[in-house]
Amino acid sequence: MTMTISRRWGLILSALLLLLSACRMPDEQASVAEGASASAASAQGERYHITWTMHLNEAVPGDAEMVRFLEDKFNVDLEIWNLENNQYEALLDLKLAQGEIPDLFRIRQSYDLLKYRNQQVLAEIPPGMLEQHAPNLTRLIHTDAPGYMEYGQLDGRQYGIPVINPTNEYRVPVVYREDWLNQLGLKPPATLAELEKVMYAFTREDPDRNGKHDTYGLSSEGMNVVFGAFGQMAFTEQLYFAEKDHRLVIGALEPEMKEALGYLQKWYRDGVIDPEFVTGENKGGYKHLSHAFIHGRIGMTSMGNYYHWVQAGDYQVVDDKGGEVPVEAAFNALELARRNSQARIIFGLPVTGPQGKSGSKAYDKLMSYTAIGAGAAQEPGKLAKILEILDYVSANPDLEASMTMKHGIRGKHWKWAGDAKDDVVILPPFDRSANYTNHIGANIGMMVPQRPRGRREQWASTLGLGEHGIYNALKVPLPSLIQYGPELIKLRNKAYVAMITGDTPIGAFDGFVKAFREAGGEQVLGEANEWYRGQAPK
């Protein structure tokens, strides 16, 4: 059979580029070879099958409109893996155990980057590939989050693209039932002593006026505000590190936490803490919902982010007719209003402790990583194609194209909120579905560090959430955290719960710290401080 001219030139071009790459230095070979492969694949018009993971609250249909749009635009077959967000790691690990590796790899817990690299399921992104095939994404990270790209490197090689959440400059809010406070003639507390007074009143003075003893002050998430009054965080998904005396410490091990635990043990003994705190405030479904708060069991929490607590009328939005209307309630505030139309919430400041410290939990801007699956690097040109798609859906410099990738088709799914084009209005019937973007296959990209300009964030900036946040001072994954981290977290939680419930005395704290260090904590602290010393100005 006669070879076509385009096919012949494609093979000649590949051979020349591969020959050229053989003459280059080793650290340049991977990038040049990938570029050669991409050119060859492009010349041959190869159509890739790409598997893609993303944040999902609901499944993406196989015929989703925006997925088909991208398939046509980039000449690919795009398969979204429907891995529910609440069970993402478990479902992903099950796939990996069965030998299935996604081509676009969402690593939700930043410390898992090293774990997955060690499992050999990630592809190295060769030098120059991001700049060449994802130039807009790369530029935004370097410009708006300088230095963060290096956090995706292991042993000097790029395995992860940092997902940077600019809204994490706002800490987690401290939320109270305002109608309970008003009923009892109280205000949001400013000090730990005032918080104690409010918590006892919520428990003993029937704030919902139903004549029953069925309310409590707080549950598990509210406890972090108590720990914050002593400068640390304890009940967190990861081990939180803090800077102290020019070194890193693990907050849950610091001696001042004994005093914080003393408060909580007393409150538990007096019935002020929800006895179900051990199982958490969320009872299933969307993970940021505090069902204990929604159902009126507790009057204070620090669960979820500011956008999970938007009440009806907190700020103005533009409706589909172009008029200014009050925003509707969302998430926790919406569910609370559905159960009790008279319920109101109010944000308070993190309370100040005996030494003048205060804070609530805050998430680092480095939220997660996006990576490429190992199998993608084995197909010539595929890695480049994935990066091109990722760049288009995540960091498109064209404003309308960017909004299309996030919200769907203008005029069908959304429209501009005004001439300034600083926000969009979701059109009916899509405005009645919180997860409509999943239904149409939109918003499949990664978050970039551009500061949000929407009205919700303008509202959030007025709430004082940019202060008193307690962040994790450790920014990178550590080998010892992979080895010991899960068991250390279990050890921490078990010891803290036992001391809060009084099953063990507060005096057992020092024994807990010793056991923690012997169970791998000492090695974790050593590695963390080795990294920390390397970050110090030279």
Tens digits of residue pLDDT in 425-480 = 999 999 989 899 999 999 999 999 987 778 898 899 899 999 999 999 998 889 99
Predicted local confidence at residue 399, as pLDDT: 94
Residue 26 pLDDT exceeds 60: no
Give the Cβ contact number of residue 342 at 10 Å: 7
Predicted local confidence at residue 535, as pLDDT: 82
| Mean pLDDT along residues 204-217 | 97
Predicted local confidence at residue 451, as pLDDT: 78
Residue 29 pLDDT class (50, 70, 90 cuts)? very low
Percent of the chain with pLDDT over 70: 91
| Mean pLDDT along residues 177-188 | 98
SS3 letters for 235-290? CCCCCCEEECCCCEEEHHHCCCHHHHHHHHHHHHHCCCECCCHHHCCCCCCCCCCC
Convert the pLDDT of each residue in 342-351 to its tens digit: 999 999 999 9
Residue 512 pLDDT exceeds 70: yes
Give strand pairing partners of 106. 370
* Residue 517: DSSP 8-state: I
| Mean pLDDT along residues 190-203 | 98
Q: With contact defined as beta carbons under 8 Å apart, do 333 and 294 qualify?
A: no
Separation between Cα atoms, residue 283 and residue 289, nearest integer Å: 8
What tokens does 125 get?
């992104």
Task: Give residues with Cβ within 8 angstroms of 157, minimum separation 6.
Answer: 124
Cα separations (Å) of 62 from 71, 349, 446, 508? 12, 46, 20, 55
3-state secondary structure of 38: helix
Which helix (DSSP H) or strand (DSSP E) does residue 423 occupy?
Answer: none
**For 221-235, 314-328, 460-474, which range has the lowest pLDDT when averaged over its residues?**
314-328
Predicted local confidence at residue 46, as pLDDT: 85
Convert the pLDDT of each residue in 258-291 to its tens digit: 999 999 999 999 999 999 999 999 998 888 999 9
Residue 301 pLDDT class (50, 70, 90 cuts)? very high
More confident site: 517 or 320 = 517
Residue 14 pLDDT exceeds 60: no
Residue 537 pLDDT class (50, 70, 90 cuts)? low
| Mean pLDDT along residues 76-84 | 97
Q: How far apart are the first and last CA of the chain?
A: 65
Separation between Cα atoms, residue 293 and residue 335, nearest integer Å: 10
| Mean pLDDT along residues 106-132 | 95
Predicted local confidence at residue 322, as pLDDT: 76
Residue 28 pLDDT exceeds 60: no
Which helix (DSSP H) or strand (DSSP E) does residue 312 occupy?
Answer: none
Residue 3 pLDDT exceeds 50: no
How far is CA 45 from its chain centroid?
A: 37
3-state secondary structure of 348: strand
pTM to 2 decimal places: 0.83
